[in-house]
């Protein structure tokens, strides 16, 4: 892994401040881990970041004193009692005038939002749809290199798990082994429960690993990822145990063609909707319209599901620096299913596929 440049928090805060201007608010408030990490470098829990046009303050409790002081960049650190929202009435920054304070609705529970609105009598709290998400969706070089390392670890895991997939082995054990291999290769953990779904269970798009034993003739779908320096990868491959039937080959080829076409179409200017449609048309034409029930993909970064959406409802336009998954699937109840998922970065001239694992049907 090459030495990576430190994130430019100053630039991130500057971009956020521009959004504050555009939204006509005085401050923005954050308490969720991905955003705290993204905006000021804090990797602990229980943090509250207040960003104003000219200053930023970060609050946490005494368990995180040392960590906050060494990690937080661009904001003044204050250590306060643990219930951070209860501190809001005491924060001097919010007492002057009648400040407008924005927060992202999705990041605060209803109960928390209620507390916000009644916490500082002179302040007006405004719940916004999104504020930092559009900034987080465009990755810089360092972020892309970090994701690439998470992708490399997942590719490594896939290569090494293949020898463990054989008749008689439980899905659960395949998933556990895969997670162990990736952890030894440098993964900080798993971004979501590893999916290992075999035989008829491969028809469940999100079938978590179970105690079912793999049998000869099964499709086995593995959907998993690694985490490197906070950034995730997310990949899926379906393999077959023993000689594939002609139906298995046919279904696999449809998904493979749909996946390859959508990857080829990935470029700046195309919307999430249009990209989804490229794969969906191929699957529909092959007669599996009802068997592809989920969106084509999603953004990845510090979170495993973030912007931009790549699905029939996504009007977001792809831009250089976005990192998305392309993951069509066909799921036939009581028979089995196939999904192939790559991580793809949108570049100025088109795209670059980060996931390197084989996409031809692997026969074990």
The minimum distance between CB 184 and Zn ion, in angstroms, equals 21
- Rounded distance between C-alpha atoms, residue 182 and residue 34, angstroms: 22
The minimum distance between CB 298 and Zn ion, in angstroms, equals 6
The minimum distance between CB 150 and Zn ion, in angstroms, equals 13
The minimum distance between CB 256 and Zn ion, in angstroms, equals 16
- Closest to Zn ion by CB, 34 vs 44, is 34
Give the residue, chosen from 187, 325, 355, 357, that forms a contact with Zn ion under the rule CB under 5 A: 325
- Rounded distance between C-alpha atoms, residue 187 and residue 231, angstroms: 10
- Scanning the structure block, which residue is given the tokens 């008749």? 167
Q: Which tokens sit at 303?
A: 């979170």
Name the DSSP class of 302. Answer: S
Stretch that binds Zn ion, among 48-56, 175-183, 229-237, 312-320 (CB under 5 A): 229-237
- Closest to Zn ion by CB, 41 vs 329, is 329
Stretch that binds Zn ion, among 90-98, 266-274, 280-288, 320-328 (CB under 5 A): 320-328
The minimum distance between CB 203 and Zn ion, in angstroms, equals 16
Stretch that binds Zn ion, among 113-121, 132-140, 245-253, 341-349 (CB under 5 A): 341-349
The minimum distance between CB 277 and Zn ion, in angstroms, equals 18
Selection from 16, 13, 50 nearest residue 30 by Cα: 50
> Is residue 104 within the footprint of Zn ion (CB under 5 A)?
no
The residue count for binding Zn ion (CB under 5 A) is: 5
- Closest to Zn ion by CB, 234 vs 306, is 234
> Is residue 223 within the footprint of Zn ion (CB under 5 A)?
yes
3-state secondary structure 18-60: HHHHHHCCCEEEECCHHHHHHHHCCCCCCEEEEEECCCEEEEE
- Closest to Zn ion by CB, 149 vs 341, is 341
Stretch that binds Zn ion, among 42-50, 139-147, 216-224, 312-320 (CB under 5 A): 216-224
Say which residues have a Cβ less than 8 Å from residue 79's Cβ, sequence separation at least 6: 59, 60, 61, 62, 64, 65, 68
The minimum distance between CB 66 and Zn ion, in angstroms, equals 36
8 Å CB contact between 350 and 275: no
- Closest to Zn ion by CB, 214 vs 344, is 344
- Closest to Zn ion by CB, 42 vs 331, is 331
- Closest to Zn ion by CB, 12 vs 298, is 298
- Rounded distance between C-alpha atoms, residue 349 and residue 70, angstroms: 39
260-281 b/e with 16+ CB inside 10 Å = b?
bbbbebbebebbbbbbbbbbbe
The minimum distance between CB 98 and Zn ion, in angstroms, equals 44
> Is residue 57 within the footprint of Zn ion (CB under 5 A)?
no
- Rounded distance between C-alpha atoms, residue 69 and residue 66, angstroms: 5
Give the residue, chosen from 234, 303, 306, 343, that forms a contact with Zn ion under the rule CB under 5 A: 234
Selection from 325, 31, 303, 42 nearest residue 191 by Cα: 303
The minimum distance between CB 287 and Zn ion, in angstroms, equals 25
Cα distances (angstroms) measured from residue 169 to each of 161, 165, 181, 304: 12, 7, 17, 28
Contact residues for Zn ion, defined by CB under 5 A: 223, 234, 236, 325, 341
């Amino acid at each position: 892994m090459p030495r990576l440049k430190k994130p430019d928090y100053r630039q991130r805060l500057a971009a956020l401040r521009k959004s504050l201007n555009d939204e006509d608010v005085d401050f923005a408030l954050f308490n969720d881990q991905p955003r705290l990490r993204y905006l000021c470098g804090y990797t602990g829990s229980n943090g509250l970041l207040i960003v104003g046009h000219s200053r930023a303050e970060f609050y946490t409790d005494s368990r995180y004193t040392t960590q906050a002081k060494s990690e937080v960049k661009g904001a003044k650190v204050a250590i306060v009692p643990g219930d951070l929202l209860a501190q809001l009435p005491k924060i001097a920054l919010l007492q002057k005038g009648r400040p407008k304070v924005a927060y992202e609705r999705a990041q605060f529970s209803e109960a928390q939002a209620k507390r916000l609105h009644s916490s500082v009598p002179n302040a007006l709290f405004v719940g916004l749809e999104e504020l930092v998400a559009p900034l987080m969706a465009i990755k810089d070089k360092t972020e892309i290199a970090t994701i690439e390392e998470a992708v490399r670890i997942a590719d490594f895991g896939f290569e090494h798990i293949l020898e463990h997939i054989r008749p008689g082995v439980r899905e659960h054990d395949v998933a556990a082994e895969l997670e162990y291999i990736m952890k030894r290769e440098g993964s900080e953990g798993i971004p979501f429960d590893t999916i290992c779904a075999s035989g008829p269970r491969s028809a469940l798009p999100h079938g978590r690993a179970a105690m079912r034993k793999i049998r000869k003739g099964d499709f086995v779908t593995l959907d998993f990822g690694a985490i490197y320096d906070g950034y995730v990868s997310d990949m899926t491959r379906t393999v077959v145990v023993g000689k594939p039937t002609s139906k298995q080959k046919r279904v696999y080829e449809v998904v493979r063609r749909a996946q390859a076409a959508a990857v080829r179409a990935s470029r700046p200017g195309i919307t999430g909707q249009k990209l989804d449609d490229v794969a969906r048309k191929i699957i529909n034409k092959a007669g599996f319209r009802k068997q592809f029930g989920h969106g084509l993909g999603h953004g990845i970064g510090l979170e495993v599901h973030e912007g931009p959406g790549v699905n029939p409802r996504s009007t977001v336009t792809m831009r250089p620096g976005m990192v998305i998954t392309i993951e069509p699937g066909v799921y036939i109840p009581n028979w089995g299913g196939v999904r192939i998922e790559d991580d793809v970065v949108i570049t100025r001239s088109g795209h670059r596929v980060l996931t390197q694992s084989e996409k031809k049907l692997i026969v074990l």
